[in-house]
Amino acid sequence: MGVRFCTKGNLILILIEDVDETIEWKILQKKKQQKTKEKPRIRTKAAIKIQAWWRGTLVRRTLLHAALRAWIIQCWWRMTLLRVLEKKRRAALIAYATRERAVIKLQSLVRMWRIHWRYCQVLNAIYVIQGHWQCHNCQTCALLRGHCVVTATHLQFHIEIINS
């Protein structure tokens, strides 16, 4: 049996020449090879994680931009609908006001016509009375005194005959 020292990188290996020695040497060599094989795997896994993070960031950024654009379009559409609704409301209000003005004007004209008709009736009655009164002999020398009251619904006319 012989003892031998060997350095491999930072490792100092003591090799005992024996059957066990070659087994231990082979085990150490396999561990070393596994470590050298694991380094690219670790780097690959790290690169994959970085790429996945970056792709996720890009996807989230794209989704955020799409959501913002959709939000802007929705705001614009709501404003457009509000403008259209406001125009419809304004048109309905103008049509309503126009109809109301027409109704009020018509009612006013009808009331005016009714009062005028009543007034004409009273005037005709006065003319008839005056006509009959003038035909009478003026021996009594009576005077006619009239009083007229006009309200929204009635027209009152009072005639007094005063004998002197």
Q: For residues 89 and 84, give the distance between their C-alpha atoms in angstroms, rounded to a whole number.
A: 9
Q: For residues 10 and 112, give the distance between their C-alpha atoms in angstroms, rounded to a whole number.
A: 122
Residues of the chain below pLDDT 50:
1, 18-19
Q: pTM to 2 decimals?
A: 0.42
* DSSP assignment letter at 155: E
Give per-residue pLDDT as tens, 122-147.
888 877 777 776 665 555 555 666 66
Look at residue 122 in the predicted model and tell me its pLDDT. Answer: 80
Residue 146 near residue 126 (C-beta atoms within 8 A): yes
